[in-house]
Amino acid sequence: MTELQAERAGKPLGVPRIEAKSQRSRYLDVLIAIAAFAVLATLPFLFSSKALLDFVIRCAAFGLFATSLNLLVGYTGMISFGLRRATNVHRQSLLIDKAARERLNGHKAVILWFTGLSGSGKSTIANIVERELHARGAHTYLLDGDNVRHGLNRDLGFTDADRVENIRRVGEVAKLFVEAGAIVLCSFISPFRAERRMVRELVDAGEFIEVFIDTPLAECLRRDPGARPADASAVVRLLTAYRGRSTPAVPSGRSVSERVSRSLKV
């Protein structure tokens, strides 16, 4: 499903699927299994030494078992669907809810989602905003795009599907921070509108504030000349997504302190 199709369907791109075994591979497994049976049937006529015969039979039997298992898995168990298999999972009711945690923290929980091009200054501004909030006594945490790829999302690359899965995981983590009554700041390129909407819909109305760091492309490239080639498509999508936007923007041409102040007002 392309981004456009995902937008029209109102859902994000799916997680990559693991392909089933090919028909040719299955036929090969069948031939190997037949050959192994044939070898086992003729072994008693080929060997006069009982010890040697036993050894060869054991080796052939092991090979037959491994091949048969591979064949069985090929027909019945290869994963060919998204990894959403649990059917016996139920929500556990909790005695302490989000409202109680917010009262204890002394402020509302919210996601501040900083989005923009690579090199736009998202992380710099989000870092300083968190410092200011922390100085005011707020309970905060910052999720940064590069940092989460060292742990939680280290198995993901930069394909469209991986980018969507990256944001899906981060969105779920951000939701947990909101449930804890905290202010969670997220700094991600997040070029797809669908994936940002996906995170927005995870929390209640008013708990997701999207802030676009509106830095000119030329300045982003000057700051980050080693940007990944895969980010080129993200640049196009992000610039297209924000034409005619209603999202609060932190405009370029201002000092970092001015942009931080603008973010805090948002």
DSSP conformation class of 91 = P
Distance CA 166, CA 148 (A): 9
In the set 120, 123, 190, 263, the catalytic residue is: 190
Is 190 a catalytic site residue?
yes
| 3-state helix vs strand vs coil in the chain, percent to 5 | 55, 10, 40
- How far is the CA of 256 from the CAs of 123, 140, 143, 221, 222, in angstroms? 11, 20, 20, 18, 17
- How far is the CA of 111 from the CAs of 119, 153, 223, in angstroms? 22, 19, 27
Which residues have C-beta within 8 Å of that of residue 137, sequence separation ≥ 6? Answer: 106
Distance CA 182, CA 188 (A): 19
The phi-psi region of residue 222 (left if phi > 0; otherwise alpha if psi is between -120 and 50; otherwise beta) is alpha
Which residues have C-beta within 8 Å of that of residue 52, sequence separation ≥ 6? Answer: none
- How far is the CA of 92 from the CAs of 88, 89, 95, 102, in angstroms? 12, 9, 10, 20
Active site residues: 190
